[in-house]
Amino acid sequence: MTTAFSLSGVTKRYENFALRDIDLSMPEGQVMGLVGVNGAGKTTLLRILSGLALADAGAVEVLGHAMPAQQVAAKKDLGFATEDMRLFKTRTLRWHMDFVRAIYPGWDEAYATELLRRFDLRAEQTMTGYSHGQRVKALLMLNFARRPRLLLLDEPTTGLDPVARDEVLEALADVLRDEARSVIFSSHNTKDIEQMADTITFVHDGALLASREKEAFLDDWRRIVCLGAWLPDKIAWPEIAAARQNGSILELKVRQFSDGLLKRLQAKGVEIRSTEPMSLEDIFVTTVRAGGVA
């Protein structure tokens, strides 16, 4: 199986932030969701993959091309859109479409027209008159219509109203129907990531906390509500990421759920009242607050 990208020992230092020793890869045809708080390093990671930032150390490969040496070859099959990326405001969207079409031979005009209609964008309007949501949709349209093998999307749904967000996610779902295409996207909205991604990657404070298949993540984590007065020792109970006592109610959030764990808990004299799956957001918050072990 070919890899869409791979990062090995990648480090990038800024004055007040450093992305440290990142090892991460993704097979082609997959969708990876990047989850992290503001300033965690998601954007830096995507900029390194897109060639907009060069790593200080480590090896970066995108679609089989070493970066930055072979970045032109990689960028020919790469789409990159960030929430703060802008188009030329005095030019029309049609001008941008012609500009991008002249560069990418794979530009699909019929699909571009379809996206214009779906996103309700006017091609002859200059970008000055576009709202934030329209700008984001225009940028995504310019990326989608060139049919890239790998799409890097940084916060593509941030700041969009619910209708625009739904339109964007629907178009993204269309892209993902083609199994040869790969997507890595970051979002504050973990629901979007939970809905779209095959693999989830947690980034926090410049480090990779975890990167696993979504189903495995969701299967392993559980919120267990018990009756009893007992607080687990973190060393003896590594499966338990968080514990909170509220009166006689004990709430446990566990990272490695199993029937054996329930039996061990019962042996400690606690009465299990319920076991519930956790949302991705809850898993992420618990992981960060537990010191970054997922």
Partner 1 sequence: MNFSSLNLPVIKLLVAKDWLLFQKQLAACVLAGIVALCLIGMATGWSFYLGSLLLIIVLVSASCFSISTSLLVERKEHTLAFVMSLPVTPLDYYLAKLVGSLVTFLVPFLVMLAGTMLVILFTPLPDGLVVLSLLIFGHVLLAYTASLSVAMAVESEGWNIFAMISSMVLINPFIMLLGQLPAISDHVKTDTIVFGPVVVSILLGQLVVGVAVLIATGWVHCRKKSFY
Site residues (CB under 8 A) for partner 1? 47, 50-54, 56, 68, 71-73, 75-76, 78, 80, 82, 84-91, 99, 102-103, 139
Nearer to partner 1, 85 or 173 (CB): 85
Pull the structure tokens for residue 292.
């970054």
Nearer to partner 1, 152 or 226 (CB): 152
Cβ 8 to partner 1 shortest distance, Å? 18
Burial of 215 (0-12, 13-18, 19+ CB in 10 A): exposed
Q: Do residues 96 and 104 make contact, with C-beta atoms less than 8 angstroms apart? A: no
Nearer to partner 1, 56 or 219 (CB): 56
Cβ 53 to partner 1 shortest distance, Å? 5
Contacts of 115 (CB under 8 A, 6+ apart): 121, 141, 144, 145, 171
Q: Do residues 204 and 18 make contact, with C-beta atoms less than 8 angstroms apart? A: no
Nearer to partner 1, 78 or 294 (CB): 78
Contacts of 289 (CB under 8 A, 6+ apart): 242
Pull the structure tokens for residue 249.
């109610």
Cβ 118 to partner 1 shortest distance, Å? 22
- Please tell me the distance from the alpha carbon of residue 61 to that of residue 26, in angstroms, as a whole number: 11
Nearer to partner 1, 75 or 149 (CB): 75
Instruction: Name the residue with tokens 């571009």.
Output: 112
Cβ 142 to partner 1 shortest distance, Å? 9
Q: Is 250 helix (H, G, I), strand (E, B) or coil?
A: strand
- Which sign does the torsion angle of CA 235, 286, 8, 63 carry? positive
Nearer to partner 1, 46 or 176 (CB): 46
User: What angle is formed at CA 195 by the lines to CA 194 and CA 197, rounded to 5 degrees?
Assistant: 65
Cβ 89 to partner 1 shortest distance, Å? 7
Instruction: Name the residue with tokens 């997507």.
Output: 183
Cβ 57 to partner 1 shortest distance, Å? 12
Cβ 98 to partner 1 shortest distance, Å? 10
Backbone angles phi, psi at 119, to 5 degrees: -85, 0
